[in-house]
Amino acid sequence: MTITRLVGYQVLDSRGRPTVAATVLLSDGTSHTSHIPSGASTGLHEAKELRDHKTPYSEKIFNGKSVFQACANINELIAPKLVGNVANLVAADQLIKTIDPSEDFHTIGANASLAVSIAVAKSQAHTEGKSLARFFQPTGPLQLPMPMVNILSGGAHAKKTMDIQDVLVMAHGATSFREAISWISAIREIATTEGAKLGAPTHLIADEGGLAIPFTTIESACDFVSSCITLAGLEVGRDVSIALDVAATQLYIDGSYHLPNANKVHTKNDFIAYMQNLVKNQPIISIEDPFAEDDWDSWNQFMTGIPTNLQVVGDDLYTTNLVRLNRGILHNSSNSILIKPNQNGLLTTTLQVLKEAKASNLRTVVSARSGETEDSWLADLAVGWGAGQIKVGSTHGSDRTSKWNRLLELEAIEDCEFNKGQPLKS
C-alpha cells in the first residue's frame, strides 16, 4: 500500500506533557498512528529527544517542553521523501538515517524518527493483513512476556519518596499471562490498603501508576511488598518475587552513592557489597541499574558475587545502544538488558540490539517510559520480538493498562505460550 500522507503533530502524554504523534495515511484510505513516550530518569547516552526549549513561544505555553520542531521535522524533512512510496519499515528507517545520519538523532529528534518508524511499521503490518505482533512473527505460537509490574515508586518518578525508583513484582509462578496480571493486581490493591494503615498518602500515585509511599530504606520497602504478596495468599519466592529498579545514576554524586532517605553515603566498594547483601537477603530475582550509567567497574565486580540466577538488568547503562551493549557483553557487566525503543530512535536498530543481546544469552526486557500514552505498540513488540519480559509500570492508569490489555487480547485471540519460568532465582 502506498503512503499518501505523513503528518507529525503534538499530543499529550500521561504526565500532561507534549509528545510527538505521527499518522501515515495509505492509499486504501486507512490511517496508522504512533505516539511516542518520554523518560524522566533518562540515561546520558540515549538518542536525543527534541524539545523546543529555546523559543519564547514554547516557554510560555508548555514550559519549554513543546515538540513543534520535532513535528515540523516529520512534516518538512521526512514526509516529502516518504509520501508516494510503499509502506516499508526497513526502507523508511534507512531513509530516516540518511536524513539524520547522527548517531543519536540530535538533528531531527529521536521522538520524530521513532514516531515515523512505528507508524510505517503499523502501516506495513496493515498492508500485509497482520497485527504488529504477527508482522514481526508471522508463524508459530506467540510468546507472551513475563510482566514486571511496579508496586512502589520513588526516585525521579515520585519526588524521591524512596531512594530507589521502583519496587516491582514478577509472578513467575503463574501459569498464564492473565493469571500473572490478576495476582499482581491483587497485590497492588493490598498495597494500597496496607499503605493507608501506615498512614501513607496512598492517593498519591506516581508517574507509572505505582504507590508513592515513603520508605526510608530499601529493605523496609521490600519487606512491605513481601507482606502484601503473602496477604494476597501467594508464596514469596515460589509464586511471586521482587524486582528492583535502583536507577542508581540518580544516586551517584562525585563518585559516591547517596541514599538521602536512609541518610547514608556509600563509597563505590561499599555500595557493591551493600547491593550484594541486599539481593541475598531479600526475595529479589531481578535488579536494574544497581550502579550508575558509566560506573562500568562496579557492574563488573557486582556480577562476580551474586546468586547465579539473579537477573541483572542494564537500562541507563546500555540505553538500547549496540556499542554500549557490546562493551557490556565483553566485560560481563550484566546478564540482561532493558529495551526501550525511544532510547534508540528506530525500530529496526532497536530490534538489532535485542537480537544481539539474545545471541549473547542476555535476557531482554522490553520497557515503556515513565511518560506514556494510550498507544499499545510496545505490547505487540514484546510479543512479536519474543522478548521474554515486559515492564510497563503499574496496573493503574490507561497509559499502563493499554499495554496489559493488549497482551490480554493477544492471549485471548492468538495461539500463545506464556513465558513462565523466566527469571527464577536458584
CA 142 to chain centre: 20
Binding residue (CB under 6 A) for ligand PGA from 245, 293, 380, 399:
245
Question: What binding mask, one character per residue, do residues 280-319 give for Zn ion by CB under 5 A, x or -?
Answer: -----------------------------------x----
Using alpha carbons only, give the angle 196, 201, 206 rounded to the nearest 5 degrees: 115
Minimum Å gap between C-beta 46 and ligand PGA is: 8
Q: Is 358 a catalytic residue?
A: no
Q: Select from Zn ion, ligand PGA, none the partner in contact with residue 319, using the beta carbon and a kind-dependent cut-off of 5 to 8 Å.
A: none
What is the end-to-end Cα distance of the chain in Å, rounded?
50
Minimum Å gap between C-beta 155 and Zn ion is: 9
Q: How far apart are CA 215 and CA 131, in angstroms?
A: 42
Q: What is the DSSP string of 278-302?
A: HHHHS-EEEEE--S-TT-HHHHHHH
Nearest to ligand PGA of 39, 195 (CB atom): 39
Segment 291-330, which members bind ligand PGA (CB under 6 A)? 315
- Residue 194 in contact with ligand PGA, rule: CB under 6 A: no
Helices (H) then strands (E): counts for the chain: 15, 16
Q: Quick one: cell of 84?
A: 508516494
- Residue 39 in contact with ligand PGA, rule: CB under 6 A: yes
Q: In the bound complex, which residue of the shown chain has the CB atom lying closest to ligand PGA? A: 39
Question: What binding mask, one character per residue, do residues 353-382 give for ligand PGA by CB under 6 A, x or -?
Answer: --------------x-xx------------
Binding residue (CB under 5 A) for Zn ion from 163, 208, 245, 411:
245
- Residue 333 in contact with ligand PGA, rule: CB under 6 A: no
- Residue 42 in contact with ligand PGA, rule: CB under 6 A: yes
The 3-class secondary structure across 125-192, one letter per residue, is HHHCCCCHHHHHCCCCCEEECEEEEEEEECHHHCCCCCCCCEEEEECCCCCCHHHHHHHHHHHHHHHH
Nearest to ligand PGA of 104, 315 (CB atom): 315
- Residue 41 in contact with ligand PGA, rule: CB under 6 A: yes
Tell me the site size for ligand PGA, rule CB under 6 A: 11
Nearest to ligand PGA of 226, 343 (CB atom): 343
Q: How far apart are CA 53 and CA 377, in angstroms?
A: 28
In sign, the C-alpha dihedral spanning 180, 181, 186, 189 is: positive
Minimum Å gap between C-beta 373 and ligand PGA is: 13
Nearest to Zn ion of 163, 245 (CB atom): 245
DSSP-derived pairing of the beta strands 311-314 and 336-339: parallel
Do residues 262 and 251 lie in contact, with contact meaning Cβ atoms separated by under 8 Å?
Answer: no
Query: Which is the catalytic residue, given 48, 340, 391, 403?
Result: 340
Minimum Å gap between C-beta 83 and ligand PGA is: 32
Q: Which of 107, 47, 39, 35 is nearest to 73 (CA)?
A: 107
Segment 16-55, which members bind Zn ion (CB under 5 A)? none
DSSP summary character for residue 76? I
| Burial call 70-85: b when 16+ CB within 10 Å, e when fewer | bbbbbbebbbeebeee
Q: Is 264 a catalytic residue?
A: no
- Residue 372 in contact with Zn ion, rule: CB under 5 A: no
Minimum Å gap between C-beta 365 and ligand PGA is: 9
Minimum Å gap between C-beta 152 and Zn ion is: 14
Query: Which is the catalytic residue, given 46, 49, 194, 208?
Result: 208
Q: How far apart are CA 229 and CA 344, in angstroms?
A: 35
Q: Which of 193, 257, 194 is nearest to 220 (CA)?
A: 194
Active site amino acids? 208, 340
In the complex, the residues that contact Zn ion under the rule CB under 5 A are 245, 315
In the complex, the residues that contact ligand PGA under the rule CB under 6 A are 39-42, 165, 245, 247, 315, 367, 369-370
